């Protein structure tokens, strides 16, 4: 996630500039544990009158025209020990390639919240980080017993947008209760992750609908509740009737798990379409 901006006087070769960038990247990977493919940055070159730096301020020897400033923008505070390792490693690597004196290396690290990053696809960095955390935890069953609201929201989004329940199922408490209006053909109360999964599969892939597509329209973090407005486009398997309605799902949370889910549905439209 760290973004690197390198500022220096104009006139260095492409090889010199590549050495600056490589040193910063390698230092971040080793000191901050940054993924090796997390490699983004900008190199700015300036005329002498466009880059101000004092030659002797708080330094052991005067700065030269090789002065270079590294501005690191990060979404995670790595802590003081990691930052100290980074400073030391950076000057060591720069000394080897492209050959910069420690006195000419100036570093600023500042923090941004993850929501202020977007890596692409119009998705906030918070969602990307939550998705990656969920994917990591999914590789080791039972490795976690609590999740952040951010992670739960991303799992709910995946369930409705991609019909992917693999992320949300581990978040359900063993005694979770899912309530669906009993007036629906598949309504009632369902307890535990297995019954939740069976209910959702029966609705989306079962005998009632020729097609059933859900779209998350809005997901609200209300602290100890997650409120999801879901668009439904469905065609009854028996009646052939199509509907376009919204449902509301309310998820109650406790200790980082989902403990209850309540569905508020347009039961009249649903019953009519199912036939």
Domain ranges within the chain, ordered by starting residue: 3-112, 125-274
| CATH numeric code, 3-112 | 3.30.429.10
pTM of the model: 0.56
Using DSSP's 3-state secondary structure scheme, residue 264 falls into: strand
Separation of first and last alpha carbons in the chain: 52
pLDDT, tens digit (0-9, with 9 covering 90-100), for 33-75: 888 999 999 999 999 999 999 999 999 999 999 999 999 999 8
Q: Where are the beta strands (DSSP E) in the chain?
A: 3-9, 41-46, 68-74, 105-111, 172-180, 188-191, 209-221, 225-236, 242-254, 257-264
Percent of the chain's residues with pLDDT above 70: 93
Which of 223-226's residues contact partners 24+ apart within 8 Å by CB, and which partners?
223/149, 224/252, 224/253, 224/254, 225/250, 225/251, 225/252, 225/253, 226/149, 226/152, 226/153, 226/156, 226/250, 226/251, 226/253, 226/258
| CATH numeric code, 125-274 | 3.10.450.50
Residues 6+ apart with CB under 8 A from 204: 163, 212, 214
pLDDT at 138 > cutoff 80:
no
Q: What is the DSSP letter of 166?
A: T
pLDDT, tens digit (0-9, with 9 covering 90-100), for 79-133: 898 999 999 999 999 999 999 999 999 999 999 887 788 888 888 887 777 777 6
Burial class (CB in 10 A: 0-12, 13-18, 19+), 155: buried
Number of Cβ within a 10 Å radius of residue 161: 12
Residue 175's pLDDT is 93
Picking from 170, 179, 174, the residue whose alpha carbon sits closest to that of residue 152 is 170
């Amino acid at each position: 996630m760290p973004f690197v901006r390198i500022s220096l006087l104009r006139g260095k070769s492409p090889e010199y500039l590549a050495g600056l960038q490589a040193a910063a990247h390698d230092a971040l990977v080793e000191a901050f544990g940054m993924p090796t493919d997390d490699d983004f940055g900008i190199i700015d070159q300036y005329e002498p009158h466009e880059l101000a730096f004092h030659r002797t301020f708080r330094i052991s020897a005067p700065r030269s025209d090789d002065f270079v400033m590294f501005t690191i923008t990060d979404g995670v505070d790595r802590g003081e020990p990691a930052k100290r390792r980074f400073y030391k490693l950076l000057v060591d690597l720069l000394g080897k390639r492209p050959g910069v004196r420690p006195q000419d290396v100036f570093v600023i690290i500042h923090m941004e919240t993850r929501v202020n990053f977007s890596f692409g696809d119009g998705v906030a960095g918070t969602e990307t980080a939550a998705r990656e955390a969920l994917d990591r935890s999914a590789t080791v069953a039972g490795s976690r017993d609590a999740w952040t609201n951010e992670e739960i929201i991303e799992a709910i989004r995946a369930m409705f947008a991609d019909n992917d329940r693999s992320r949300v199922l581990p978040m359900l408490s063993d005694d979770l209760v899912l309530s669906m209006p009993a007036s629906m053909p598949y309504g009632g109360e369902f307890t535990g992750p297995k019954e939740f999964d069976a209910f959702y599969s029966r609705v989306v892939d079962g005998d009632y609908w020729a097609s059933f597509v859900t779209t998350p329209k809005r997901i609200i973090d209300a602290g100890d509740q997650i409120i999801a407005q879901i668009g439904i486009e469905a065609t009854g398997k028996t009646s052939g009737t199509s509907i376009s309605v919204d449902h509301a799902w309310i998820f109650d949370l406790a200790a980082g798990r989902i403990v209850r889910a309540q569905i508020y549905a347009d039961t009249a439209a649903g019953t009519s379409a199912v036939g």
